[in-house]
Amino acid sequence: MTINIKDYVLEMARKAKDASYSLVAMSADNKNKILKEMAKALRNKKDFILKANKEDLKEGENSNLSEAMLERLLLDNKRVEQMAKGLEDVAALDDPVGRVLDKRTRPNGLEISKISVPIGVIAIIFESRPNVTSDAAALCIKSGNAVILRGGKEAIGSNMAIAQVMNEAASRIKAPDGMLQLVETTDREAVNELLKLNSYIDLVIPRGGEGLIKAVVENATIPVIKHYKGICHIYVDKDADIDKALDIVINAKCQRPGVCNAAETLLIDEQIARTHLPLIAARLRKSGVELRGCEKTARIIKDVVRADEQDWKTEYLDLILSIKIVGGVAEAIKHINDYGSMHSDAIITENKVTASKFLNMVDASSVYFNASTRFTDGGEFGMGAEIGISTDKIHARGPMGLEELNIYKYVIKGDGQIRE
């Protein structure tokens, strides 16, 4: 049956707006009950979800999706359990709604309070990862927001299965209709229509490749929170502990190369490059990493692919790493600020003065001292889950959890005051 895309999306937005008015007044206990019921349903209907995912994976292979994209798409017993556990973790967090952020009494007796409130209706447009469906639902519901999800066509079956299971659980305990909705058409026109509904939708969060995010930003009449790329750096300083450096570089690049917080560029101080770089390169190559290096790197590491200007700007999302030898922390900072994406960058050093300079001067949402960039994640930051990672500088930056999905309003109480 052919649907009218414009009417279909408009009706979803209207339902979400209505649901948002119910959610803003919902108690923390009721929101937690919804999330726990959803978690239970994911576990009980695991086979139904995995069957849909298997079909998506088969279609993805037939469509020649990359290994990195297939890895993002994959669901298994462990990942479904992580989704359920994520819902429970969010339920266990403090409710962000209604917090008094500031309070003051004016000389005229007016009592002015700054109170945290939900944003309202959030649209999330994402690619590949079906777990975003449950993560987004958990965070939006707990923070009092209605959510409209639009996943990529490669995961449509998985996303529909997850949303169906969660909505069935929510309906059994009479949760607001329209609280969680999934756009069930892969027609791109649905996204174009969604991005224009600023009368109903308060915020758009795109999660995916640079092309998707740019398309959303260019077409939306709704505010957008975004990050275009995850070009993350590891800088190995002259005062680095080599064992720490080896472990961190391998983890940041190899543990899960197809994600936005994986390292894409290694910077190393020229004073230790001849001794340390061969050790690091050997470990990386043992893990199957293709190395692309600057001219100085090529003199030390044989058979390295010569890096060009484009490599410093590339988010590989694969087992590829660019390497540049630099003249110290100042040059490392400049390179990161010139080529980075303001996502996550790390320094490996035992010199706290050098570390402090790096942490203060690198312009990124998350900066690390002797730790892997792979920790830039809502769950790892203790947020339960995340709605995305923002590299913007307005409203939210870094992993976006419950607090970042609330805004505030001023509540003013008086006793008949009028302005003179």
Q: Mean of the pLDDT values across residues 295-316?
A: 95
Q: Rounded to an integer, what distance in angstroms lies between the CA atom of residue 390 and that of residue 404?
A: 10
Query: Is the pLDDT assigned to residue 2 strictly greater than 80?
Result: no
108-155 pLDDT, tens digit per residue, is 999 999 999 999 999 999 987 899 999 999 999 999 999 999 999 999
- 383 part of a folded domain: no
Per the CB < 8 A criterion, the answer to whether 85 and 385 are in contact is no
**Is 395 within the bounds of a domain?**
no
pLDDT tens digits, 196-253: 999 999 999 998 878 888 999 999 999 999 887 899 999 999 999 999 999 999 999 9
- pLDDT, one tens digit per residue, over 389-400 is 899 888 889 999
**Same domain for 181 and 307?**
no
Residue 292, classed as helix, strand or coil, is: strand
Per the prediction, the chain carries an average pLDDT of 94
So what's the pLDDT on residue 362? 98
Q: Both 342 and 271 in a single domain?
A: yes
CATH number (domain holding residue 99): 3.40.605.10
Task: List Cβ neighbours of 218 (8 Å cut-off, separation of 6 or more).
Answer: none
**Coil, strand or helix: which one is 238?**
coil
pLDDT above 60 for 189: yes
Could you tell me the CATH number of the domain that includes residue 308? 3.40.309.10
Q: Are residues 66 and 35 part of one domain?
A: yes
3-class secondary-structure state, position 33: helix
Q: Quick one: 238 and 218 in the same domain?
A: no
**Pair 164, 205 in one domain:** yes
Structural domain of residue 141, as residue ranges? 5-225+400-413
Q: How far is CA 260 from CA 301, 366, 393, 401, in A?
A: 27, 12, 18, 17
